[in-house]
Amino acid sequence: MDFIRVGEKLLDRRKIYSAVERILELRAQGFSQEEVAQKVAVDRTFISRLEKLGEVRRGRRIAVIGFPVANKEELHQMLEEEGVEYIFLLTEAERWDYVRQKNGLQLINEIMEIIARLREYDVVVIIGSDYRIRLSEALLGREVVGVEIGTSPIREDRVVDVERLRGLIRQLTSREKKAAYQS
């Protein structure tokens, strides 16, 4: 059991995670916040706040950055088909070539330029290690959606499921379309 003490209370993390997972599953099935609140025995406002906490900002502009990916060309083609505006994908070899071809100052400046450019997008999908995703979230803010392909450090190319990524991109863009119709 995974317990944590908060003041005088002893909390079971597993129980909390299980409840949150159930709430999200019910909402994804189409139940209203009120219906889910009754089923799980929590306040509706808790569900609203939970959703707000995890919401990816809706927007028109999506960027995808990822490395090291084995099926780079296939991913790039699909992302273009789905209307992704900024795509930066590298294999492991390309990643090391990118670093080796620049001196320290050039590398820092280019990385800062990429970060500045990514901040212009409403949603940034990061394909990479757990560490790179957390770092990207810290640099870019809550508009980051992570697609983890392994734990850090990753030293070889990883195949990314093209259809799963396509589904994610479509979810992000369908939220945008729904918001536009509701406005």
Question: Quick one: pLDDT at residue 120?
Answer: 86
Q: What is the pLDDT of residue 54?
A: 79
Q: Where in the chain is the domain with CATH 1.10.10?
A: 3-54
Contact (Cβ atoms closer than 8 angstroms) between residue 107 and residue 126: no
**Residue 178: is its pLDDT beyond 60?**
no
- Give which of 182, 174, 181 is closest to 56, Cα–Cα: 174
What CATH architecture does domain 3-54 belong to?
Answer: Orthogonal Bundle (1.10)
pLDDT, one tens digit per residue, over 93-145 is 999 999 999 999 999 999 999 999 998 888 999 999 999 999 999 999 768 99
Residue 91 amino acid letter: T
pLDDT band at 177 (very low <50, low <70, confident <90, very high): very low
Q: Residue 81, Cβ neighbours under 10 Å: how many?
A: 10
Among 169, 111, 159, 100, residue whose Cα is nearest residue 135 = 111
Which tens digit of pLDDT belongs to each residue from 50-74? 988 876 544 568 999 999 999 999 9
Q: Can you give the pLDDT at residue 182? A: 37
pTM above 0.75, yes or no: no
Task: Decide: 37 and 47 in contact? Cβ < 8 Å.
Answer: yes
Q: Where in the chain is the domain with CATH 3.40.50?
A: 62-182
Domain 62-182: which CATH number of 3.30.920, 2.40.160, 3.40.50, 2.60.40:
3.40.50
Question: What is residue 183's predicted lDDT score, i.e. its pLDDT?
Answer: 33
